[in-house]
Amino acid sequence: MDANINALFNNLTTDIRNVSVAVCGFAFVWGATIYGTSARSPHQMEMGKTAMKASLVGVAAIVLAATLVGMVFSALGGGAAG
């Protein structure tokens, strides 16, 4: 039973991480599109740069969270998360 619960949480954290990284990738591309089509408008350029920076911060937060979850699972004896 415990193995099933560990597998469930490992799969769940992996799925959440993958979806989150995909959303951050989409946000980066969206920001790059806004920046690229800004026609040198300072406001549009700043919006694009802000979106790209936020998506990179989001990826960093996801990697940090995945690492922390893996450490907690390891400390509890459940193995590392995906």
pLDDT reading at 6 higher than 80: no
CB 47 within 8 A of CB 34: yes
Average pLDDT rounded to a whole number, residues 19-30 = 96
Other beta carbons within 10 Å of 77 = 8
The pTM score is 0.79
Average pLDDT rounded to a whole number, residues 19-32 = 96
> Residue 80: its pLDDT value, please?
52
pLDDT reading at 53 higher than 60: yes
Average pLDDT, the chain: 89
Token pair listed for 1: 């039973």
- Show me where the domains of the chain are located: 2-75
